Structure 1
Amino acid sequence: MNFHYPNGRRYIQQTKQIIPSIKTEKKLSYSNRGMTLEDDINETNRYYLENNIAVIHKKPTPVQIVNVDYPKRSAAVIKEAYFKQASTTDYNGIYKGRYIDFEAKETKFLTSFPLKNFHEHQIKHMSAVLGHGGICFVILRFSAIEKVYLLQADQLLHYWDRMVNGGRKSITLEEIEKGSHFIPLSYNPRIDYIKIIDYLYTF
């Protein structure tokens, strides 16, 4: 009996001699998946939702479309659009009855995280969330070394205030390692930040 893939290619059974190379290729593709931080968090949130752990979604970006071209009846191409308002943070939702709100940022720098990656309106938003008793944090990824950290918003506000008052314009990796929480990458969920939330808060 012949089997075919969905694209029409014929399935050919592999021999035992090439099994080791297949395993090696799988390992390499897992360690270098090319996933962005957003991809990984979306995948993680999907896992939380499907397993009834938490309900957390990426916030839609408020965009006003002003010019659309229709080259085909079945397709539309947006030619011009603008942001209706400044976005706040990337994600929000609920976990065990508590409101969760967080931002996700990544950098290619090896030894520091530039504060210019954040905007003043985001800082004000996070401060307001904390003021109302919400759980607020940022997930930081050093993409060059594949390390991910959860930094609580109150710590970020401290570093932001330091910059505003004339201090350094970044957070050093050493400061992040000491003042935040390392999130080891795993298969599923990919970035298990809820485990850190359970450690930090009493529900």
Structure 2
Amino acid sequence: MTIRYPNGKVYKPNNSETPVKKQSKNEKKISFSNRGKTLEDDLNETNQFYNSHGLANVHKKPVPIQIVKVEYPSRSTAVIREAYFRTPSTTDYNGVWNGYYIDFEAKETESKTSFPLKNIHAHQITHMRSVVEQQGIAFFIVRFSSVDRYFVVPFDIIEEAWHTMESGGRKSIRLAAFEEKAVEIQIGFNPRIDYLAALKKIVANK
């Protein structure tokens, strides 16, 4: 199926900067959390836990799509061949926590040393800046999949790196910068990715 952006450009899925490698039969799992799940899967489970326990009300944003071409191989089946995003996507998740509006994007990278900025779009930066200006909390959750590390990254860290890139500077953020400025979280059982614990630290430090 072909999906296009509102400007007509073909959408190419790009979950993280490189595809996730399949684990060979002889490879050992790094940890109990390495079960083939994506960051999105883990966040959906986490949000379900938060919502069901009254800790927050957070959901994945629906993506409005306009279907333009459908084929009918048989009378009982239909196959979508082409569709368009009605509007540019903003971020992955939003909701309310402890009186705060929260809005965040989830990203993965296989790099062990840095997070490339190429998969963040200008309209996402604009959107998240507007959230912050309205006293909301905007942030990224970044997973370094090769080393199985997770960081909750305040928007201002990403925004600063974005402006540096636009000025001709570095096009990625070093892992060391995340270790210094972001909040690292460990994978767990319930919740899977306890990003609310990280948000408490971020709010307390403001």
TM-score, normalised to structure 1, is: 0.82
Q: Which runs of 5+ in 2 are unaligned?
A: 1-28
3-state SS of the aligned residue for 1:30? coil
C-alpha deviation, 1:84, in angstroms: 1.1
**Structure 2 counterpart of 1:154, from 144, 153, 156:** 156
Match of 2:106 in 1: 104
Question: Are 1:176 and 2:178 an aligned pair?
Answer: yes
Match of 1:93 in 2: 95
**Structure 2 counterpart of 1:121, from 117, 120, 123:** 123
Match of 2:24 in 1: none
Cα distance in 1 between the residues matched to 2:154 and 2:165: 17
Q: Quick check: 66-75 or 104-113, which moved more?
A: 66-75
C-alpha deviation, 1:69, in angstroms: 2.4
Larger RCO, structure (CA 8 Å, separation 6 or more): 2
Q: Which runs of 5+ in 1 are unaligned?
A: 1-26
Q: Quick check: 63-72 or 38-47, which moved more?
A: 63-72
Which one-letter code corresponds to 1:59 in the other structure?
K
Q: Equivalent pairs: percent with the same residue? A: 53
**Bigger proportion of residues as helix:** 1
Which one-letter code corresponds to 2:136 in the other structure?
G
**Structure 2 counterpart of 1:142, from 141, 144, 151:** 144
Considering only CA atoms, is the larger Rg found in Structure 1 or Structure 2?
Answer: 1
Cα distance in 1 between the residues matched to 2:173 and 2:31: 31
Provide closer, same or farther for how the CA distance between residues 29 and 167 of structure 1 changes in structure 2, counting only shifts above 3 A: closer
Q: Deviations over 1:159-194 (max 9, x none)?
A: 111111121000001111111000111111110001
C-alpha deviation, 1:125, in angstroms: 0.6
Question: Are 1:32 and 2:34 an aligned pair?
Answer: yes
How many residue pairs are counted as aligned between the two chains? 176
RMSD over aligned CA atoms reads 1.6
TM-score, normalised to structure 2, is: 0.81
8 Å Cα contact 2:33/2:187 also seen in 1? no
Q: Deviations over 1:1-23 (max 9, x none)?
A: xxxxxxxxxxxxxxxxxxxxxxx
3-state SS of the aligned residue for 1:100? strand
